[in-house]
Chain A
Amino acid sequence: MDELTDWLRRFHAAVTAHQTELTELDSVIGDADHGANMVRGMNAVMAKVDAEPPATVADLGKAVGMTLVTSVGGASGPLYGTFFLRFGMNAGAVDGLDAAGLGAALRAGLEGIVARGKAEPGDKTMVDALAPAIDAWDRTVAEGGSSAQAARAAATAAEEGRDATLPLVARKGRASYLGERSAGHLDPGAASAALLLGSLADALED
Chain B
Amino acid sequence: MIGIVVVSHSPALARAAVDLALEMGGSEPPPLRIAAGAAGGATGTDAVAIAAAIDEVASPDGVLVLMDLGSAVLSAGLALEFVHTDAAVVLSPAPFVEGLIAAVVGAGSGASLSAVAEESARGLEAKRSQLGAEHDPSEPPDPPTAAPDGAEDGGAQTASFDAVVRNPSGLHARPAATFVKTAARYTATVTVTDLDTGKGPVSAASLISLISLGVTRGTRIRVSATGPDAQDAARELEALVADGFGER
Report which A residues bind B (CB closer than 8 A): 40, 66, 69-75, 77-79, 81-82, 116-117, 173-174
| Docked-complex contact A78 and B48, CB < 8 angstroms | no
Chain B residues 30-47 with CB under 8 Å of chain A are 37-39, 42-47
Q: Does B77 contact A (CB under 8 A)?
A: yes
Stretch of B17-25, B68-76, B115-123, B188-196 on the interface side: B68-76
Q: Which of B44, B46, B78 contacts A82 (CB 8 A)?
A: B78
**A40 vs B71: C-alpha distance in the bound complex, in angstroms?**
17
**A155 vs B47: C-alpha distance in the bound complex, in angstroms?**
30
Assuming the A-B contacts A69-B78, A70-B39, A116-B77, are A174 and B45 also in contact, with contact meaning beta carbons closer than 8 angstroms in the complex?
Answer: no
Min C-beta distance of A23 to chain B, whole Å:
15
| Docked-complex contact A81 and B78, CB < 8 angstroms | yes
**A127 vs B39: C-alpha distance in the bound complex, in angstroms?**
26
29 sample A-B contacts, Cβ–Cβ < 8 Å, listed by A number? A69-B48, A69-B75, A70-B46, A70-B48, A71-B38, A71-B39, A72-B44, A73-B9, A73-B37, A73-B42, A73-B44, A73-B71, A74-B71, A77-B38, A77-B46, A77-B71, A77-B75, A78-B47, A78-B71, A78-B74, A78-B77, A78-B78, A79-B74, A81-B78, A82-B78, A116-B77, A116-B78, A173-B70, A174-B70
Which residues of the other chain, A, contact B48 by a CB distance below 8 angstroms? 66, 69-70
Which residues of the other chain, B, contact A40 by a CB distance below 8 angstroms? 39
| Docked-complex contact A75 and B77, CB < 8 angstroms | no
| Docked-complex contact A75 and B9, CB < 8 angstroms | no
3 closest residue pairs by CB, A with B: A73-B44, A73-B38, A75-B71
**A173 vs B43: C-alpha distance in the bound complex, in angstroms?**
16
Min C-beta distance of B107 to chain A, whole Å:
26
Min C-beta distance of B191 to chain A, whole Å:
40
**A174 vs B70: C-alpha distance in the bound complex, in angstroms?**
7
Which residues of the other chain, B, contact A72 by a CB distance below 8 angstroms? 38, 44
**A132 vs B127: C-alpha distance in the bound complex, in angstroms?**
45
**A174 vs B72: C-alpha distance in the bound complex, in angstroms?**
12
| Docked-complex contact A69 and B46, CB < 8 angstroms | yes
Assuming the A-B contacts A69-B47, A81-B47, are A116 and B42 also in contact, with contact meaning beta carbons closer than 8 angstroms in the complex?
Answer: no
| Docked-complex contact B46 and A73, CB < 8 angstroms | yes
Min C-beta distance of A95 to chain B, whole Å:
25
Which residues of the other chain, A, contact B46 by a CB distance below 8 angstroms? 69-70, 73, 77
**A79 vs B46: C-alpha distance in the bound complex, in angstroms?**
12
Assuming the A-B contacts A117-B74, A174-B70, are A77 and B42 also in contact, with contact meaning beta carbons closer than 8 angstroms in the complex?
Answer: no
Which residues of the other chain, B, contact A66 by a CB distance below 8 angstroms? 48
| Docked-complex contact A74 and B78, CB < 8 angstroms | no
| Docked-complex contact B44 and A74, CB < 8 angstroms | yes
Which residues of the other chain, A, contact B38 by a CB distance below 8 angstroms? 71-74, 77
* Residue from B44, B48, B74 having most chain A Cβ neighbours under 10 A: B74
Which residues of the other chain, B, contact A173 by a CB distance below 8 angstroms? 70
Which residues of the other chain, B, contact A77 by a CB distance below 8 angstroms? 38, 44-47, 71, 75
**A162 vs B42: C-alpha distance in the bound complex, in angstroms?**
29
| Docked-complex contact B70 and A73, CB < 8 angstroms | no
**A3 vs B37: C-alpha distance in the bound complex, in angstroms?**
34
Which residues of the other chain, A, contact B9 by a CB distance below 8 angstroms? 73
Q: 1/0 per position for B193-211, CB-CB distance to A under 8 A?
A: 0000000000000000000
Chain B residues 184-239 with CB under 8 Å of chain A are none
| Docked-complex contact B74 and A75, CB < 8 angstroms | yes
